Amino acid sequence: MKVLFVAGLAPIARDAAASAAFYRDALGLPLEGDEYPHTDRLDGTKHFGLWSLPDAARSCFGTATWPEGVPIPQAVIEFEVEDVAQAAAAMERRGYRLLTGVKTEPWGQVVARLLSPEGLLLGLTYTPSMRGQ
């Protein structure tokens, strides 16, 4: 078998209205439809990986242990944005809690992280290597 690309990603929404508000309104994704909000107008995935929980915890909290009281994410999704600081501030204004402020990872990626309503670890990112820089 040869996998050609990531064909789709759909968070499993426990609260459809909260998820729609998060992805459509706060992130501005061009979602269509009410019963199954979706889009085919978002460019493809540039990276797929398996990230350990201790590594995710180190990135978010500076420790290898995920803190009690914060839901453990089942996956990470990252959205490349024009300006990470501006995107992070916009999410905070909408009432979403950032797990990390804007920071630069050791591999050069600028990121702010938060949890989606479904419990996905979500990164708002600027990744120079994906922009040919």
Q: Tens-digit pLDDT profile for the chain (133 aa)? A: 877 777 778 898 889 899 999 999 999 999 998 888 999 888 887 888 888 899 999 999 999 999 999 999 999 999 999 999 999 999 999 999 999 999 999 989 999 999 999 999 999 999 988 887 6
Domain count, the chain: 1
* E strand or H helix at 20: helix 16-20
Whether 40 is covered by a domain: the verdict is no
Is position 65 within any domain? yes
d(CA 106, CA 98): 20
- Where in the sequence is the domain holding 124, given as residue range(s)? 16-28+49-131
Is the residue at 61 inside a domain?
yes
Residue 118 and residue 13 in contact, taking contact as beta carbons nearer than 8 Å:
yes
In a domain, 38, yes or no: no
**Domain containing 62 — which CATH number?**
3.10.180.10
